[in-house]
Amino acid sequence: MHRLIQPLTVIATLLVALPFNGLCAQHSIIPRPAEMSQQDGEFEVTAETRILAAPGLESKGRQLADWLESVTGLKLQVVSDSDSAENTISLKLDPALAHLGEEGYSLTVRPGGVVIRASKPAGVFYGLQSLRQLLPHEGIGRTVRCVTIKDAPRFSWRGFMLDEARYFKGMDVVKSLLDEMALLKMNVFHWHLTDDQGWRIEIKKYPKLTEIGSRRKDSQVGGWNSDKFAGVPHEGFYTQEEVKEIVAYAEQLHIQIVPEIEMPGHASAAIASYPELGTQREPIEVPTRFGKHYPCYNAADENVYRILNEILDEVVGLFPSEVIHIGGDEVRFDHWKQSKDIAELMKREGLKTSADVQIYFTNRISRDIEKKGRRMMGWNEILGDDLHGFLKDGQTRSAATLSPSAIVHFWKGNPELAERAIREGHDVVNSWDAYTYLDYGYQSVSVQRSYSFDPVFKGLAPEYYEKVKGFGCQMWGEWIPTKVDMETRVYPRIAACAEVGWTPLDRKDYVGFVQRLENLTKRWDRLGIHYDRKSWPYTSKELEQIPVAGTWEPTQIQEKAVDLRWDVSKQIDGPGIYDVVLVYNRGAHGIDLHEVALLQDGETIALDAHEGFAGGQNRNIIYRLKVDACLPDAVYSLRAKVSGSGGTRSWGSVHLRRFR
């Protein structure tokens, strides 16, 4: 049930053309804070402004001074004490704010100065990120409108994954991503460092992992079924010194790096380096084709467990993260099924299926990781469900169960699998591919779709909410050889994802987000970060211009779902992609939106069936309709299935225009 709504909504404000430009500059924090109110007056950063950092926060003070210098040229003094709070940016630890959690903070801007308080340094750090975004153009402007913010994240796990196993990107790219993550208050960098096509981290005890495993002769290009190759070798890896540098860099940004060392599948690069790790024990090359390969670690061989343990010892020594990710996805069981060793293991341990063998393997690794004082995480195949039909004989897990301490990283399959995992005691991070895979094209995972994601599984009993630790978005690397390819997929969707992870559900507002994005793009322009400008439909100015195609009023609305219809024959002027925006204008109730269709002479020819809400907090109010062909004399009408939210007193307008 939605709360009663405020008469002036963001979109109504937009469409009646209030002066939102000034508003934009001051209200552009992404992710949107939990509570924020604006007051009259402003604070100006000048050469005399001092940063007053309380004991324990000196490094935060210096970070702020460095950021401000890089964008304004002003070299501000950082002091630990001051007779006067006038013209200061003051950073304080305040145990009274413990209720906001370790990452929550309060920020007040008054004409005389700025105060950021939090119970822990992480909270102060996030207050600083909000302040950076409040300065117009992220610091190039020097005045901040007076404001009061109280803020804390919705989830403790706000992740971004980079796959460098497929293409090595290097330190500068990683540091730039960490910078952007920090500004967006994301706190987990999940680093996919090993896979079939490359091993990217130096392991001193097993040097061939990088001597052999970090190099491949060529790379498939053009998609999964393509027979084309780039015609050039690819290589690259991080030395342990470089890993340490990146870990330290991330630590300063309050980002934990969770390394992913894939096992038992996606292991060809390791098996090419040390064939004794596999069941076939034959030399192989690091694959040049992408996709899922057959080699996997021999789960029956104690020597393999010893080697993996020694590798993990070095990994644990490099990464302070509580969590170590072991992948576990997409294991092709063919080699195990052909292996005498595995058959003997199954007999000895009473394992009935290959899924059981994977669970046996994963439980052993999980115990080893626990002995090292850490916790294991893996993709949801570690639960033993046959997501890909690789078991072939319809088997799935039998008696074997995964240790409840394992964190399940949900990415594919029926969300009920994740719910079952939660009921079985697992913590879950939700990275459902249909919303969070940033390597997917914008046609399938639009900015709006990313934004609409709710990591809490629909229908999950409230007592289990706290088992959903958060969400991750993923940048898989098969088809993104360059930094430009990668950035144009990451940006702007990572910003939408950041808001998914931080902002309370009832504060999310896609149209407002699109407005706020404009400030961020100015930063990206300044830094030369590539983003796909066509991927989100409108700038705020453009939104104002969308023609009205019809209206609704209370007599048409019911609390049950009804169809509203408008004749749009004049507006449909050829094939293309049309956007329909449903805008609440006034009244005590918003409307829940279920689907929007375009009808040609009464027949549906285009449909967008996502859920949305037009009201005080708009959600997903833009519907996109693809029209393949038009008839010159046909009658076109729009049909919107809607229901009044808690009542029927709602007035609004429907806007339509051709997007492309």
Catalytic amino acids? Answer: 195, 266, 330
Smallest distance, Å, CB 499 to ligand ACM?
23
Smallest distance, Å, CB 443 to ligand ACM?
19
* Span 363-382, contacts to ligand ACM by CB under 6 A: 379
* Span 411-440, contacts to ligand ACM by CB under 6 A: 411
Taking CB under 6 A as the criterion, the residue among 329, 439, 487, 595 binding ligand ACM is: 329
* Span 44-73, contacts to ligand ACM by CB under 6 A: none
Query: Across-strand partners of 613?
Result: 592, 619
Position closest to ligand ACM via CB: 329
Which of residues 239 and 444 has its CB atom nearest to ligand ACM in the complex?
444
The 3-state secondary structure of 103-162 reads: CCEEEEEECCEEEEEECCHHHHHHHHHHHHHHCHHHHCCCEEEEEEEEECCCCCEEEEEE
Q: For residues 224 and 529, what is the distance between their CA atoms, to the nearest angstrom?
A: 28
Is 163 near ligand ACM (CB under 6 A)? no
Which of residues 138 and 163 has its CB atom nearest to ligand ACM in the complex?
163
DSSP three-state, residue 430: strand
The 3-state secondary structure of 535-604 reads: HCCCCHHHHHHCCEEEEECHHHCCCCCEEEEEECCCCCCCCEEEEEEEEEEECCCCEEEEEEEEEECCEE
Which of residues 410 and 491 has its CB atom nearest to ligand ACM in the complex?
410
Smallest distance, Å, CB 330 to ligand ACM?
5
Which of residues 411 and 623 has its CB atom nearest to ligand ACM in the complex?
411
Nearest residue to 537 via CA among 558, 516, 511: 511
Which of residues 11 and 428 has its CB atom nearest to ligand ACM in the complex?
428
- Report residue 162: phi and psi, to 5°: -115, 125
Is 330 near ligand ACM (CB under 6 A)? yes
Which of residues 202 and 329 has its CB atom nearest to ligand ACM in the complex?
329
Smallest distance, Å, CB 222 to ligand ACM?
20
Cβ count within 10 A of residue 643 = 16
Name 248's Cβ contacts closer than 8 Å, sequence gap at least 6: none
Smallest distance, Å, CB 124 to ligand ACM?
35
Smallest distance, Å, CB 310 to ligand ACM?
25
DSSP three-state, residue 511: helix
Is 410 near ligand ACM (CB under 6 A)? no
The DSSP line for 216-276 is ES--EESSTT--EE-SS-EE--B-HHHHHHHHHHHHHTT-EEEEE---SSS-HHHHHH-GG
* Span 336-355, contacts to ligand ACM by CB under 6 A: none
Q: How is residue 437 annotated by DSSP?
A: B
Which residues sit at the interface with ligand ACM, rule CB under 6 A?
A: 329-330, 379, 411
